[in-house]
A and B are shown apart, each in its own frame.
Chain A
Amino acid sequence: MTGLRRARFWVYGLLAAFIIGSVFPFYWSFLVASRDSGMMTQKVPPLLPGGNFFANAARVFDTVPFWRALGNSVIVSGTVTISTVLLCTLAGFAFAKLRFRGRNGLFLFVIATLAVPTQLGIIPLYIAMADFGWAGHLPAVIIPNLVSAIGVFWMRQYLVSALPDELIEAARMDGCSMLRVFWHVALPASRPAAAFLGMFTFMMSWNDFLWPLVVLDPENPTVQLALERLQSGYYVDYSLVLAGTTLATIPILVVFVLLGRQIVAGIMAGAVKG
């Protein structure tokens, strides 16, 4: 606790046990996906992967429109991420650095909306989307997520301390309009926080389930909907279904392993300021 001594071995032991527990379900799903369905009936399951992963993965693409689902998810999550990062940085910049009437009250309102379970409004939202003729189409899952309260909050907290007022004043003296100040000064200064917000948003959007389930068609799914449909057969073929979950998790896992350090730093920084 005092930070004077190196951690003792039992601390490492407990942490290692926790991490094994964290990794195991991923490993298990890959294990099942790499064998055939006969494995599930064995008394003592094998602990090493078999050679059937690619065969099972190919069956995933035959069973559901998985390419289409991947394409849809990339379009949806990509658009949502770019838009959220831009619009949240813009609003965060205004709340952090610009003076205007009602700023504090409006910012408190943004924080308060974090506690509103907007998911419960899906019924009117669905009625509206159906009226617009958007039900079944990607804009229905993109548009409601173009900007987020947590993103505005996060970017504001970051820019308050990371962007010196003198820099904005200097740009203004040089004749920059507000929008140019944002583009040339605030946006570059917010890069670390924007990168975290982007990764966070991408993961949230990639994993979103309830709203896409309500508003999209099975023929035009996102990855999560395709996965759910894989499982909904009369008989669940787990080597097929878990090949699907493995395929759907790999992209996110790669992002996470590459950028894990920033994600961890981002979550912890947000926690202290929040």
Chain B
Amino acid sequence: MSSGRSARLAERGPTGRYPEVPGPVPQTPKLTLRDRISGWDVKFSPYVYIAPFFILFGLVGLFPLLYTGYVSLFDWDLLDETHKFIGFNNYIDLFQDDQFYTTLVNTLSIFLLSSVPQIIIAVLLAALLNTNLRAPTGWRIGVLLPYVASLVALGIIFANLFGPNYGLVNGFLELVGLDRIDWQASRFASHIAIAVMINWRWTGYNALIVLAAMQAIPKDVYEAALIDGASAFRRLVSITLPLLRPTLIFVVMTSTIGGLQVFTEPKLFDSMPGSNNGGSSNQFQTVTLYLYQTGFESQHLGYASAIAWVLFLVIIVIAVINFLLTRRLAGTGEKK
């Protein structure tokens, strides 16, 4: 490490001479060792400082992701030392795998049920928080509170609340004269319950991000609209939403990338705890849960890698679609 050595050298005394700062000393053609070290320090230190991120990302982020593609071409079992190359057979199997389609539909369904209401409620909540409140920080902290819950704790608590027999939600439904719902057994009901969990944890967090963007909108824009007689709804649609567009794109993209990899919530929601099935007939198994089950319960690492790669492509496609959609919806298309 050049910077470490030069740090020790520099302690001996002030150098004050390095190429970028015009010093009182005229540049002589003959550089001293100290000058040269200082020059190297300026030149190479930045690369040394950013290196840890790039090295670590390469080793534990990018390389494993690419190597997943390689593993997916093998019949690769966890405990078996020999790996047989089978080309695209894992993918051929995957595209004929009913369970994979079930998990894909589940993932998309849970994703839609969680992201769409979440973003709408987050914008409305941000609008409420953007009024002239007493103790604004207190309200903001309160809204963010669910964010501290770990996904595991959350999954356990909500599995209890949505329990089929003694769950509080069913108790409440009965109290108001509705039928109880078997939240774990019914496919659609289980998706709703899992979406409620996700929304509960993330809505406040996203509302704060939207609120920050709202507060960055200049006040005089609203005043001008008020003078023109624009209603509150009109102001929201014609001023706030278009100006929030970059932020909404950010929120939608992060919730897309995270939401399509949902794992912990469905795993903990199972009425057979510890199971990776996502319900008795996989009714709420997500793709990532299926990936985990295939790789680490059934120990078919090759097939699980194929699932990972296909999910990766699905995420890219949906992220691009959502990007275009948000850009169009949250704005009339005028240049900013």
Please give the residue numbers on chain A whose beta carbons come within 8 Å of chain B beta carbons, in ascending order: 1-8, 11-12, 14-15, 18-19, 21-23, 25-26, 28-29, 32, 40-41, 43-45, 87-88, 90-91, 93-95, 98-100, 103, 106, 110, 113, 115-128, 143-144, 146-147, 149, 152, 169, 172-180, 182, 203, 206-207, 209-210, 213-214, 223-224, 227-228, 231-233, 236, 238, 241-242, 245, 248-249, 252-253, 255-257, 260-261, 263-264, 267-269, 271-272, 274
Contacts and interface: CB of A to CB of B under 8 A. Distances in A.
B71 A103 contact: no
A209 B208 contact: no
A174 B45 CA distance: 18
B142 A19 contact: yes
Which has the most chain B C-beta neighbours within 10 Å: A147, A206, A253? Answer: A147
B21 A274 contact: no
Given A22-B200, A206-B150, 17 more contacts: A25-B161, A32-B160, A94-B50, A100-B46, A117-B260, A117-B261, A144-B56, A175-B16, A207-B151, A223-B150, A231-B159, A236-B273, A252-B148, A264-B141, A267-B208, A268-B208, A268-B215
Interface stretch (B112-120, B126-134, B187-195, B325-333): B126-134
Contacts of B216: 272
A267 B205 contact: yes
Contact of B61 (A18, A118, A169, A175): A118
A182 B73 CA distance: 46
Interface string B209-224: 1111101100100110
Given A3-B132, A147-B56, A177 B41 contact: yes
29 contacts: A1-B232, A2-B222, A5-B132, A15-B133, A25-B149, A28-B161, A41-B166, A88-B53, A98-B45, A100-B46, A110-B53, A115-B257, A118-B62, A118-B64, A120-B291, A120-B311, A147-B52, A173-B16, A177-B3, A177-B41, A178-B3, A178-B6, A245-B157, A248-B153, A252-B150, A260-B141, A271-B212, A271-B250, A272-B212
B128 to A, nearest CB: 5
Main secondary structure of the interface of B (DSSP, over half): helix
A223 B186 CA distance: 31
A179 B4 contact: yes
Interface stretch (B87-95, B103-111, B301-309): B301-309
Given A123-B68, A169-B21, A172-B21, A19 B139 contact: yes
A143 B60 contact: yes
Contact of A245 (B129, B139, B156): B156
Contacts of A213: 292
B252 interface: no
B192 to A, nearest CB: 16
Contacts, number: 321
B222 A210 contact: no
A91 B15 contact: no
Interface of B: 3-4, 6-7, 9-10, 13-16, 18, 20-21, 23, 38, 41-43, 45-47, 49-50, 52-54, 56-57, 60-65, 67-68, 70-71, 125, 127-134, 137, 139-154, 156-161, 163, 166, 168, 171, 200, 204-205, 208-213, 215-216, 219, 222-223, 226, 232, 235, 247, 250, 253, 257, 260-261, 263-264, 267-268, 273-274, 288, 291-292, 295-296, 301, 304-305, 308-309, 311-312, 315, 319
Contacts of A28: 157, 160-161, 168
A19 B140 CA distance: 10
Contacts of A41: 166
Contacts of A118: 57, 60-62, 64-65
Which has the most chain B C-beta neighbours within 10 Å: A88, A106, A121, A260? Answer: A121
A45 B53 contact: no
Given A123-B71, A177-B3, A271 B209 contact: yes
B64 A128 contact: yes
A146 B52 contact: yes
Nearest to A12: B133
A186 B127 CA distance: 37
A263 B208 CA distance: 11
Cβ-closest 6 pairs across A and B: A121-B64, A175-B14, A232-B274, A268-B212, A207-B150, A178-B45
Contact of B153 (A116, A227, A256, A271): A227
